[in-house]
């Protein structure tokens, strides 16, 4: 299988520059086939919620590639409730970049972006997205939206995307503080966002549809909380790829029927799983190097290692008020754990580490993420002071050419050995 | 003492408290302390600021919420008990954001008053407003992009033949005259608007008005600064490179003085090629009657690995050349190359009427009449050898360059590798060492390959361990070398950028003798590259040609 994907990636890479439409066709076909494979021949170790996440995420990536007029390219923390209420499928930076990595084609897109002048030090997820847009492989969406939350790269990338495609662009500015005046500021922007959408799509936002989205989202959040309560006492086989798929469900797909069904399956799988049995319980911070064989060998479905969750999958779990949707979305954005001071994030990690009985925390420093990198040392001090051994692990979530594989796996393995010795 | 770093800081409010804040914009000698407490891969300015604050923690620091790195600097310093204020600066500039920032300013006044015990004086505040930057008058070099430290700014001003205006993110601060009211709400309403409506930095959402910065017809050239691991300004540079025709030099700085020598080299080359070249750089030599007769001139290229000398006669014929390794003494190596070239044609030193030096050691060549950067010299030499050349790929021991030429042979633009060894002769040396072969062998070994191997690591050190792994996995030597050649080719092509290179390619420098690398670049570019018979003497030849021009200009 590895050789087939390698050959496929080579074909995509060769076409990125010379024949971008051919590269797009190849990606569409490749994702179509892998979607079928995930649906009908999934890996035997996967639990029902994981199999479902793979299929739904595949669909979410393919839809904007096949029907770009009904899609928008968004940053990961963009509140997508309004988009779902208006029938727009969001395509997000990290999701697309990881899928391109899955096709073993990321190097061509990164090279394209860097050759065009995008700094080498820029976040690899963003470089892949920019390379995909600049090369003409990624079809033009209806519009682009980003927030200023957490990641500086959003400001540069989305402005550039709008310029490349000549499509409307909306930025939601999320302040650092989160008092009532900031709530009003963001809520006002949410109302502007509605006008932007209505004008761009030439259709009115249906309040009824938005209510339905919010109700689904709230039910999903309640199910998700139930899952964490279960997980605190259980062991649930997990892998890095499934944890990345979960980001689709906890972010851009939240509020959809698919996401709600996913959380139902998640709770069901947790309820059926075995009680915790002295395994090493790891909480992960930031994205995961799901593609890296050496890391997969150490973490994925390892009966001694429970990958509990990555913090991006519990960054904000707030129910919305359907009677006051814009203020409540504003409050949700402003209470995001990646906003404000770094302690907001570390407090949330600590809260979950305690709830889930974590033995250790892996703080993954994805290349180019200044937010995460800048907070690494301070977070390690806080987490270790609270009794959670923490490993700072430098790596790259999607660029094979940017890691020292041997060093990473040695550090990860040594960390697990330390935790094992404490058992 | 109160320090601040950003032009959106409410400096005038601080003056309203009777304090005189200082903009901190210095370089540091090293980042040893910063590296202990914050990750290395965040913006270099932020690390320098931490280094400074660890050494001098007493001052109050005022920050704005300007980027991810600075937010984390605030956290780090606050956790060490330092007094740090942060203003929540909106990204947008509209009515809502102005209202929000006004409230933030009022909050700051209360917070600072409580901290300092001082009273905010509206009269002092209003008196501090009304400071506008002077308009540009006459030909000017604009410094754009991210902030640049004071030491380097001073150096640029000294090197430039024209006045330099600082239009980086910290420059061009504009606050108008305050309205005559004592209503603090109204004043802060106005002040928030003044602060937010300045020509925006790249962190702001709406940046169209940055166009104003380069619209001034007095701007003759741009030095575009980026800071390592601050990515905001790479985007604007990309746009400017594509849409504007002004001479532009991109530099990357890191708030230490470690790369200053290379930066100065590049800036000198840029200034040499500005159309409005100052008279300051042209030396006046005494006229020599003998010039009308046959004479000889010399060019010396003092490189990091080898030193080359070229002797030209007055008919522009290359009469001799020499290449010697650069030893520990740059002047001695230059002298040696010069003597070897002379001995080859039995010329005495006295017959050489003019010598120009180039290369990294150019200023150390004691017997030269003047020095010129290797960028100008390689361009000059390449054009002399083949006037159809428009892009020179020069790959030397420690750096690689892409030099674009105008149709008259003058340098249009150039790009150089920064501090990374990937894509240089040194990289190939390291790889040959890992493979246990010589440089001659590595040149030919990759020409016959079977399997396409991708060396994916960008970093030379990572690539070296990748090569070791490939050897261990039993891959064929020729396939590994071919993979390396392709990797070097990708790196050097990336240097030129997609829009940076035009057909009519020549390759110079020692690496041009590596046939495998040349073929890989040709394949990637889809063109044939002209490689002169002696590619490593091109810089020295250019230096000799400049010496010749000097003589011609004088006579």
Taking only the tens place, the pLDDT of each residue in B435-465 is: 888 877 888 887 888 887 877 666 667 677 7
Q: Are residues B395 and B525 in the same domain?
A: yes
- A27 vs B364, which has greater pLDDT? A27
Q: Which of residues 465-494 of B touch A (CB under 8 A)?
A: 465, 469, 490, 493-494
- Whether residue B407 sits in one domain with residue B509: yes
Q: Tell me: do B150 and B266 sit in the same domain.
A: yes
* C-alpha–C-alpha distance, residues A374 and B47, integer Å: 10
- How many Cα atoms are found within 13 Å in the side-chain-facing hemisphere of B59? 20
- Cβ distance B237 to A189 less than 8 Å, yes or no, reads no
Compute the distance between CA of residue A73 and CA of residue A143 in angstroms, rounded to an integer: 7
User: Which of B234, B456, B465 lies nearest to residue A406, judging by beta carbons?
Assistant: B465
Instruction: Give the one of A122, A176, A374 whose C-beta lies nearest to B88's C-beta.
Output: A176
Q: How far apart are the first and last CA of chain A?
A: 38
Q: How many CB pairs under 8 A join A and B?
A: 152
Q: Which tokens sit at A27?
A: 């990606």
Average pLDDT over residues B182-210: 95
| CB-based contact B327:B333 (threshold 8 Å) | yes
Task: Say yes or no: B349 and B420 in one domain.
Answer: no
- Would you state the pLDDT for residue B473? 79
In angstroms, rounded to a whole number, what is the distance separating the alpha carbons of residues B447 and A393?
39
pLDDT of B98 over the 50 cut: yes
Please check whether residue B403 is in contact with residue B383, taking contact to mean a CB–CB distance below 8 angstroms.
Answer: no
The rounded distance, in Å, linking the Cα atoms of B191 and B199 is: 15
Tokens in use for B230?
A: 């601050």
In this structure, is residue B535 part of a structural domain?
A: no
Predicted pLDDT at A28: 97
Within a domain: B201: yes
> How is residue B137 written in tokens?
């008058």
In angstroms, what separates the C-alpha of B80 from chain A's closest C-alpha?
A: 10
Say yes or no: B334 and B414 in one domain: no
Element housing A113 (H / E) = helix A106-115
Q: Are residues B403 and B359 in the same domain?
A: no
CB B356 within 8 A of CB B546: yes
State mean pLDDT over B88-113: 97
In sequence order, the 6+-apart residues with CB closer than 8 A to the CB of B73 are A374, B38, B46, B49, B50, B63
| CATH code where residue B17 lies | 3.40.50.11890
Between CA A109 and CA A20 the distance in angstroms is 11
Q: Partners of B322 in the beta sheet? A: B309
pLDDT above 70 as % of chain B: 94
* Residue of A13, A121, A192 to mutate, testing the B interface (most B Cβ within 10 Å of its Cβ): A121
State pLDDT tens for residues A374-386: 999 999 999 999 9
What is the 3 state secondary structure string of A309-320? EEHHHHCCCCCC
Listed by number, the residues of chain A in 199-228 with a beta carbon closer than 8 Å to a beta carbon of chain B are none
Q: At B104, is the pLDDT very low, low, confident or very high (cuts 50, 70, 90)?
A: very high
**Chain A residues touching B41 at Cβ < 8 A:** 121, 365, 367-368, 370, 373, 394
Give backbone dihedrals phi and psi of B157, rounded to 5 degrees, phi first. -60, -35
**Which residue numbers in chain A have pLDDT < 50?**
none
What six digits make up the tokens of B339? 């003597």
DSSP state of A117: T
Residue A163: per-residue pLDDT: 95
Considering only CB atoms, which chain B residues are within 8 Å of A156? 202, 231-232, 234-235
| Run of H or E residues at A308 | strand A305-310
Residue B380: inside a domain? no
Q: Do B72 and A374 touch (CB under 8 A)?
A: yes
Distances (CA, A) of A140 to A12, A195, B35, B282: 19, 21, 42, 53
Q: Label the pairing between strands B400-405 and B411-416.
A: antiparallel
Cβ within 8 Å of residue A105, ≥6 positions away: A9, A12, A13, A16, A23, A27
Show the tokens assigned to B446.
């990759």
Domain contains B537? no
> What pLDDT score was predicted for residue B485?
87
pLDDT classification of B418: cutoffs 50, 70, 90: low
Whether B91 and chain A come into contact, CB under 8 Å, resolves to yes
CB contact at 8 A, A48 and A55: no
Distance CA A276, CA A375 (A): 31
Across the interface, of B42, B104, B235, the residue whose CB is closest to A156 is B235
Backbone angles phi, psi at B438, to 5 degrees: -90, 170
Interface check B299 vs A, CB under 8 A: no
For the record, the structure tokens of A36 come out as: 């079928």
* Least reliable range by pLDDT among B115-119, B303-307, B355-359: B303-307
Nearest to A173 among B205, B456, B457 (CB): B205
Please indicate, yes or no, whether residues B37 and B123 belong to a single structural domain of this protein: yes
Using a 10 angstrom Cβ sphere, with 0-12 exposed, 13-18 middle and 19 or more buried, the burial of residue B465 is middle
Q: Is residue B262 a contact partner of residue B288, using CB atoms and an 8 Å limit?
A: no
Token pair 């439409």 is found at: A21
CB contact under 8 A, A156 and B456: no
Q: What is the mean pLDDT of chain B?
A: 87
What predicted TM-score, i.e. pTM, was given to this entire model?
Answer: 0.81
Q: A150: closest CA among A309, A327, A333, A398?
A: A333
List, in sequence order, every beta strand (DSSP E) within B58-171. Answer: 60-64, 84-87, 140-145, 164-166
B536 in a structural domain: no
Nearest to B227 by CA among B15, B41, B486: B41
Answer whether B68 sits within 8 Å of A151, measured CB to CB.
Answer: yes
B497 and A171 within 8 Å at the Cβ level: the answer is no
Say if B287 falls within a structural domain.
no
Instruction: Please check whether residue B363 lies inside any domain of the structure.
Output: yes
CA-based nearest residue to A38, from A27, A25, A48: A48
Output the pLDDT for position A95: 97
| Inter-chain CB proximity B497 and A402 less than 8 Å | no
Token pair listed for A108: 């061509």
**Residue B474: CB partners within 8 Å, gap ≥ 6?**
none
Q: Any CB–CB contact under 8 A between A324 and chain B?
A: no
For residue B290, the model assigns a pLDDT of 46
Residues 127-186 of B with CB under 8 A from A: none
Query: How does DSSP classify residue B136?
Result: P
Are the C-beta atoms of B430 and B464 separated by less than 8 Å?
Answer: yes
Residues of B with Cβ-Cβ distance to A188 under 8 angstroms: 96
Alpha carbon of A160: minimum distance to chain B alpha carbons (Å):
8
What is the rounded CA–CA span in Å between residue B362 and residue B264? 13
CA distance A247 to B292: 79
Are both B393 and B453 inside the same structural domain? yes
- Using one digit for the tens of pLDDT, what is the confidence trace for B122-159? 999 999 999 777 777 888 999 999 999 999 999 999 99
Range of the domain at B352: 296-374+542-554
Sorted by sequence, the CB contacts under 8 Å of residue B440 that are 6+ apart come out as: none
Q: How confident is the model at residue B420 (pLDDT cuts 50, 70, 90)?
A: low
Report pLDDT for B79: 93
Place of tokens 């994030």: A345
CB contact under 8 A, B97 and A173: yes
Burial A152-171 (b: 16+ CB within 10 A, else e): bbbbbbbbbbbebbebbbbb
Q: Are B442 and B431 in contact (CB under 8 A)?
A: yes
Would you state the pLDDT for residue A2? 64
SS3 content of chain B, % helix, strand, coil (to 5): 45, 15, 40
Q: How far is CA B97 from the centre of its chain?
A: 36
In a domain, B261, yes or no: yes
Dihedral sign for Cα A330, A332, A335, A339, please: negative
Backbone angles phi, psi at B86, to 5 degrees: -130, 130
- Measured between beta carbons, which residues in chain B are less than 8 angstroms from residue A20? none
Q: Are residues B121 and B242 in the same domain?
A: no
Q: What is the ipTM of this complex?
A: 0.94
Question: B229 at the A interface (CB within 8 A)?
Answer: yes
Element (H, E) at A334: helix A325-334
Does the beta-carbon distance from A173 to B232 stay under 8 Å?
A: no
Q: Are residues B162 and B213 in the same domain?
A: yes
CA B324 – CA B317 distance, rounded (Å): 21
Q: Provide the CB-side half-sphere exposure for B549 (13 A, CA).
A: 16
Last residue of a domain, one of B258, B273, B288: B273
DSSP labels, A45-70: T--HHHHHHHHHHHHHHHHHHH-GGG
Residue A277, both tokens: 């049995």
Contacts of B350 (CB under 8 A, 6+ apart): none
**B24 — alpha (psi -120 to 50), left (phi > 0) or beta?**
beta
Continuous segment of H or E residues that includes residue A89 = strand A89-92
Residue listed under structure tokens 């792994």: B469
Q: Residue B499 above 50 pLDDT?
A: no
Of A159, A160, A400, the CB nearest to B456: A400
- CA–CA gap between residue B533 and residue A369 (Å, rounded): 47
- Residues from chain A that touch B86, judged by Cβ atoms under 8 A, are 176
Question: Could A121 and B71 be called an inter-chain contact, meaning their C-beta atoms sit closer than 8 Å?
Answer: no
Provide the domain count of chain B. 4
The reported pLDDT for the residue numbered B544 is 96
A149 contact partners, CB below 8 Å, separation of at least 6 = A75, A77, A174, A333, A336, A338, A339
| pLDDT score at B278 | 39
CATH number at residue B397: 3.30.420.40
pLDDT of res. B291: 47
**Same domain, yes or no, for B369 and B391?**
no
Residues of A in contact with B235 (CB under 8 A): 117-118, 156, 159-160
B-chain CB neighbours of A403 within 8 Å are 462
Report DSSP state, residue A41.
Answer: S
Interface residue of A101, A112, A117 to substitute, partner B, most B CBs within 10 Å? A117
Q: Do B234 and A368 touch (CB under 8 A)?
A: no
Count CB atoms within 10 A of the CB of residue B348: 8
Query: Are B232 and A377 in contact (CB < 8 Å)?
Result: no
Among the listed residues B301, B300, B311, B307, the one whose alpha carbon sits nearest the alpha carbon of residue B353? B311
Is the pLDDT higher at B421 or at B388? B388
Radius of gyration of chain A (CA): 20
Task: Give residue-wise pLDDT tens across range B242-294.
Answer: 878 788 898 989 898 877 777 888 888 888 877 544 333 333 333 444 445 67
Co-location of B123 and B89 in the same domain: yes
Residue among B41, B100, B493 whose CB faces A181 most closely: B100
């Amino acid at each position: 299988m590895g050789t087939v994907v390698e050959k496929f990636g080579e074909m995509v890479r060769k076409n990125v520059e010379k024949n971008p439409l051919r590269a797009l066709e190849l990606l569409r076909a490749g994702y179509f086939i892998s979607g079928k494979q995930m649906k009908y021949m999934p890996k035997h170790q996967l639990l029902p919620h994981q199999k479902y996440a793979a299929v739904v995420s595949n669909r979410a990536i393919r839809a904007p590639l096949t029907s770009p007029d009904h899609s928008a390219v968004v940053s990961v923390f963009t509140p997508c409730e309004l988009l779902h209420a208006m029938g727009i499928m969001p395509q997000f930076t990290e999701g697309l970049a990881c899928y391109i990595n899955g096709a073993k084609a990321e190097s061509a897109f990164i090279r394209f972006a860097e050759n065009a002048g995008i700094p080498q030090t820029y976040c690899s997820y963003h470089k892949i997205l920019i390379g995909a847009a600049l090369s003409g492989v990624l079809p033009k969406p209806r519009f682009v939206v980003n927030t200023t939350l957490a990641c500086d790269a959003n400001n540069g990338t989305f402005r550039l995307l709008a310029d490349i495609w000549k499509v409307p662009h909306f930025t939601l500015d999320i302040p650092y503080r989160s008092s009532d005046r900031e709530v009003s500021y963001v809520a006002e922007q949410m109302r502007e966002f509605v006008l932007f959408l209505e004008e761009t799509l030439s259709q009115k936002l249906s309040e009824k549809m938005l209510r339905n989205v919010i109700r689904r989202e709230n039910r999903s959040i309640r199910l998700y909380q139930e899952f964490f309560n279960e997980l605190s006492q259980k062991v649930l086989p997990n892998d890095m790829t499934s944890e990345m798929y979960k980001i689709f469900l906890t972010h851009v797909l939240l509020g959809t029927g698919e996401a709600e069904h996913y959380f139902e399956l998640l709770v069901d799988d947790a309820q059926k799983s075995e009680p915790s049995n002295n395994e090493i319980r790891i909480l992960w911070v930031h994205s995961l190097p799901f593609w890296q064989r050496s890391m997969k060998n150490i973490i994925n479905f390892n009966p001694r290692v429970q990958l509990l969750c990555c913090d991006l999958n519990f960054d904000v779990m707030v129910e919305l008020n359907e009677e006051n949707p814009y203020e409540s979305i504003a409050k949700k954005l402003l209470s995001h754990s990646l906003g404000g001071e770094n302690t907001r994030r570390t407090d949330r990690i600590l809260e979950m580490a305690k709830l889930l009985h974590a033995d250790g925390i892996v703080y993954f420093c994805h290349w180019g993420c200044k937010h995460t990198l800048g907070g690494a040392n301070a977070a390690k001090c806080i987490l270790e002071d609270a009794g959670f051994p923490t490993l700072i692990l430098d790596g790259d979530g999607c660029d094979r050419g940017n890691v020292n594989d041997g060093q990473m796996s040695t550090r990860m393995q040594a960390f697990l050995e330390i935790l094992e010795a404490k058992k | 003492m109160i320090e601040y770093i950003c032009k959106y800081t409410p400096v005038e409010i601080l003056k309203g408290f009777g304090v005189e804040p200082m903009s901190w914009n210095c370089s540091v000698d090293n980042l040893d302390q910063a590296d202990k407490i914050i990750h290395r891969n965040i913006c270099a300015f932020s690390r320098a600021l931490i280094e400074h604050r660890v050494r001098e923690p007493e001052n109050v620091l005022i920050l704005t919420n300007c980027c991810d790195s600075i937010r984390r600097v605030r956290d780090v310093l606050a956790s060490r008990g330092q007094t740090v204020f942060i203003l929540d600066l909106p990204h947008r500039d509209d009515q809502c954001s102005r209202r929000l920032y006004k409230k933030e300013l009022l909050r700051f006044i209360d917070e600072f008053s409580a901290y300092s015990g001082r009273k905010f004086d509206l009269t002092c505040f209003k008196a501090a407003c009304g400071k506008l930057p002077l308009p540009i008058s006459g030909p000017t070099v604009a410094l754009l992009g991210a902030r640049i430290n004071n030491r380097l700014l001073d150096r640029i001003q000294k090197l430039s033949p024209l006045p330099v205006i600082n239009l980086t993110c910290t420059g061009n601060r504009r606050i108008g005259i305050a309205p005559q009211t004592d209503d603090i709400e109204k004043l802060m309403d106005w002040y928030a608007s003044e602060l937010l409506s300045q020509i925006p930095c790249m962190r702001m959402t709406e940046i169209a008005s940055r166009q104003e910065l380069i619209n001034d017809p007095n701007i003759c050239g741009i030095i575009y600064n980026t800071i390592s691991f601050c990515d905001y300004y790479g985007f604007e540079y990309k746009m400017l490179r594509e849409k504007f025709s002004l001479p532009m030099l991109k530099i990357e700085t890191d708030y230490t003085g470690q790369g200053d020598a290379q930066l100065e080299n590049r800036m000198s080359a840029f200034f040499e090629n500005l159309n409005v070249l100052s008279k300051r750089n042209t030396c006046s030599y005494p006229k020599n009657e003998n010039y009308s007769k046959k004479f000889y001139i010399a060019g010396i290229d003092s490189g990091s690995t080898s030193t080359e000398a070229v002797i030209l006669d007055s008919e522009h014929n290359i009469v001799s050349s020499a290449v010697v390794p650069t030893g520990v003494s740059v002047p001695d190596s230059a002298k040696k190359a010069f003597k070897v070239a002379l001995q080859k044609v039995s010329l005495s030193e006295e017959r050489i009427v003019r010598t120009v030096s180039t290369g990294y050691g150019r200023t150390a060549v004691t017997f030269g009449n003047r020095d010129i950067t290797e960028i100008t010299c390689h361009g000059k030499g390449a054009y002399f050898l083949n006037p159809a050349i428009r892009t020179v790929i020069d790959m030397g021991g420690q750096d690689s360059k892409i030099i674009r030429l105008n149709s008259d042979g003058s340098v249009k633009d150039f790009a150089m590798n920064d501090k990374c060894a990937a894509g240089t002769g040194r990289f190939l040396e390291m790889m040959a060492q890992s493979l246990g072969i010589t440089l001659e062998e590595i040149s030919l070994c990759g020409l016959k390959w079977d399997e396409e191997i991708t060396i994916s690591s960008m970093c030379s050190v990572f690539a070296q361990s990748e090569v070791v792994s490939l050897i261990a996995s039993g891959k064929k030597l020729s396939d590994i070398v071919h993979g390396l050649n392709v990797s070097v080719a990708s790196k050097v092509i990336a240097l030129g950028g997609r829009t940076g290179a035009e057909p009519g390619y020549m390759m110079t420098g020692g690496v041009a003798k590596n046939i495998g690398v040349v073929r890989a670049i040709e394949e990637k570019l889809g063109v044939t590259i002209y490689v002169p018979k002696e590619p490593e003497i091109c810089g020295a030849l250019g230096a000799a040609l400049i010496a010749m021009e000097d003589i011609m200009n004088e006579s």
